[in-house]
Structure formats: C-alpha cells, structure tokens
Chain A
Amino acid sequence: MWTYDKFLEYPVKIKTPNPEMAKIIITQYGGPDGELGASLRYLSQRFSMITPQAIATCNDIGTEELAHLEMVGAMVRQLMKNATLEEIQKGGMGGYYADHGRGIYPVSASGVPFDASYIQSKGDPIVDLTENLAAEQKARATYEYLINMADDPDVIEPLKFLREREVVHYQRFGEALRIVQDYLKEPHLFIMH
C-alpha cells in the first residue's frame, strides 16, 4: 500500500503562466507515453512478475511514476492557474478550458483522453520488461521534445529531472530483464544469497 509524503520529488516553482506550454506538457499526464500510463503499467505488471528483484523494480518504479504524475500535474496547474483567458485562448487551450477550466484532466497534447490501450501487461515477464524498456525510451524522448520547445528555466529544470529519471529507469528494467532471462535460462543455477 502507499504512504504520501507532502512534498514533490523535485520542486516545481513556475512564476510565469504559459497555457501554450501547459497544452503540450499535459501529454506527460494523460498521453500515450506519460506518467499515468507508466505507473499503471508497472503497478499492473508486478502481480505476475517473477524473481524478487524484478517484482520490486516494477513495484517501486511504478510508485515513483505516481510521484512524477504529481509533478507534471503541478507544472500544468502552475502554468494555467494565473493565466488570463486571452492567454489561454492564444495558447490553444480554449477547448481544454471549455471542458476543464483551469483544472487538471488526463489528456494527450492533442486532447485525446487517457486510454488503457497505451499500456500492456501481458503476464509474461520477458514481454512486460521489454515493454517497459520501450516505455522508458518513449518517455525520455517526449521529455526531450518538451525541453526543446520550452524557454522558461522554471519549466526546463523539472523536465530535465524527469527525463533523467527515465534514463535511470531504463537501466533498472534492463538489469531486471537480465535477471529474469538468467533465471528462466537456468533456474537451477539461480542462487539468492
């Protein structure tokens, strides 16, 4: 089960509203390669995962992705909260505003609501870990695209943090895959100290 610590994993302190940025950053909230998908994916896969190392990895990275979801939500909120309606319309967030005001709702950059078909949990550990490697690369690339389009350092810093976490997660899932592959290849040689 989960505990909640009342602070963000990395601080989000944005001074200047920017609905145009909010419109694209929200894709990491409810989009195909976003944090909601990531956390749901890993937290679903863990039930059928094998080897203690890989199970823990899915469990804990899934949990960390929830913290990232919170950060992305915070970014979109701070970018929208004090925006004028004019800024919102100019930034292309008029449609979003009509449905959600200045609130937070899981959609992609093009306004498509979150869909569980963004994730897979095949129940096969090799499939699931391979899926996770792809997911982390997709997330990393998305953060790079977002960083490319951002100008405000207050926005760029948290995005860079989140991008780096994807690199680290890729390494961890890669190691988990090695462990699972070795286990399935020769279970009788698998010894836990």
Chain B
Amino acid sequence: MKQTETKKNIPQNLAMSKCIPQETVIENVRLAAAYVPYQYICTLFTPFEALRRGTAFPELYSPYKGEDKKCRPYQLETSKKERI
C-alpha cells in the first residue's frame, strides 16, 4: 500500500493566497471505506454574503445557474454549455 504524507494544516497568519481550505492528501486509506476531505478555515463571507449564498465558507459555495428550459439535453452537450 502506498504511504502518503498528510499535508500540514497551514496556520492562518500566513498570506491568504497560501491558505488551502481543505485536506489535499489523505493518508492510510483503507479499502471499502469512503473518504471526504476535511475542510480547513481560511476566510469567511460577511454575514449578509453568507446568508445570501447559503454558507459562511467560500470553499463550500457552489453556485447553480439552472438548466435552460428550451434546450434539449443533447444540445447542451454539443454546445458545451457551462452548467454552473
């Protein structure tokens, strides 16, 4: 089994650009088990922004635009429409 190093948690007083808000490597993984990476805090939205978006954490914000009602699914595929 390949051994991998867990990336160290980056302290928050470093420049924001160096702060990675999640685990990027998981060590000692076993078979037949599911792994969701841990989240780490870097920055927070302001309260209004957070309430508006549905989360205080930028790294968990997952905007959804919705599907065009008039498009056929195969058209969406071929025109490579972004589904964000």
Contacts and interface: CB of A to CB of B under 8 A. Distances in A.
Touching in the complex, A and B, CB below 8 A?
Answer: yes
Nearest to A145: B67
A156 B67 CA distance: 13
B51 interface: yes
Contacts, number: 56
A171 B39 contact: yes
A164 B54 contact: yes
* Chain B interface main SS type: loop
B62 A164 contact: yes
A interface, size bucket:
20 to 34
Contact of B67 (A10, A148, A163, A168): A148
A87 interface: no
B36 A167 contact: no
A106 B2 CA distance: 50
B31 interface: no
A100 to B, nearest CB: 29
A161 B64 CA distance: 10
Interface residues of B, number: 20
A138 interface: no
B35 A168 contact: no
A21 to B, nearest CB: 13
A148 B68 CA distance: 7
B36 A174 contact: yes
A178 B35 contact: yes
Contact of B64 (A147, A165, A174): A147
B15 interface: no
A51 interface: no
Interface in A141-186: 144, 147-150, 156, 160-165, 167-168, 170-171, 173-175, 177-178, 181, 185
Interface string B64-78: 101101000000000
A133 interface: yes
25 contacts: A133-B36, A144-B66, A147-B66, A149-B69, A156-B66, A160-B64, A161-B53, A161-B54, A162-B54, A164-B53, A164-B60, A164-B61, A164-B62, A165-B54, A167-B60, A167-B62, A168-B54, A170-B36, A171-B36, A171-B39, A174-B35, A175-B36, A177-B34, A177-B36, A178-B38
Given A168-B55, A177-B34, 8 more contacts: A133-B34, A133-B36, A144-B64, A144-B66, A163-B54, A167-B62, A168-B57, A171-B36
